[in-house]
Amino acid sequence: MSDRLTVRKTYKLYLGGKFPRSESGRTYPVKSAEGSGLANAALASRKDVRDAVAAARKAQPGWAAATAYLRGQILYRVAEMLEGRRAQFVAEVRDARGGTVKAATAEVDAAVDRLVWYAGWPDKLSQVLGGANPVAGPYFNHTAPEPVGVVTQVAPQGEPLLGLVSVLAPVIAAGNATVVLAAQEQPLPAISFAEVLATSDLPGGVVNVLSGRVAELAPWLSSHSDVNAVDLTGVDDAELAAECERAAAENLKRVWRPVRPDWTAAPGLDRLRACVELKTVWHPAGL
């Protein structure tokens, strides 16, 4: 054992491209699967949610206006950055959820591959979801998907990295900005993943990562009026989820209801479809 003292990392929020502490000044202790203390994570507040939504709203138009090709390249860059820090994430995932190194490695590798999969979607989505419509008249008529806007998400509990990546990647691939609440008891890999995002040419504010309590924050994530869609994947409490759905109904947010999918299975298009709107354009054709 070296007699050098290690320098520990302070885990904070990721908000608007910066790493602030919670404005509330609160933290909560995060423990490993074995029960030992790992770090103190920021305990985000309602005010942090509002700041994060404001940052997402500010960043979203620029992100959506970037070419699909560029968005794909940036997602691929995220995969490159994650692959480059593979060892660190294997350790963090294992600390968080316990189990074998092999299992943790599989989760990290799957997370990289998932990012690569979604990197190919921005410039293909409209070719799969949109198209020309043969209306009965001399009109050009065309339907194409566009991002729904700002999405708030509760990341799944239990797969601290793969779950987070699986819910976040489709949302930004489609051109949205997101505020995502990390797995409550295992938030550290998510905060480290924010460092990956911060070094991947992803514009600040497109992804905002909070850590804190689901019961405290999910209602605010669901009720905020400047949010277009809410993803309740990680809300395991059925009553809370129903309450969130009701809150989301106030301004008719699109709602992704809680599910416990197999994150290791190949994803379909469901999550991409859920975070786009379809726009149809008519134009007369004639002299």
HSE-CB at 146 with a 13 A cutoff on CA atoms is 13
Binders of other proteins among residues 137 to 166 (CB under 8 A) are 138, 140
Minimum distance, C-beta of residue 151 to other proteins, in the bound complex (Å): 22
Which residue's CB is nearer to other proteins, number 68 or number 247? 68
Q: How many residues bind other proteins (CB under 8 A)?
A: 23
282 near other proteins (CB under 8 A): no
Interface with other proteins includes 76 (CB under 8 A)?
yes
128 near other proteins, judged by CB under 8 A:
yes
Binding-residue pattern over the window 93 to 122 for other proteins, x denoting contact by CB under 8 A: --------------------x--xx-xxx-
By beta-carbon proximity to other proteins, the closer residue of 32 and 143 is: 143
> Which CA distances in Å does 278 have to 1, 145, 209, 273?
59, 4, 28, 9
Where does this chain bind other proteins (CB under 8 A)?
68-69, 72-73, 76, 113, 116-117, 119-121, 123-124, 127-128, 138, 140, 269, 283-287
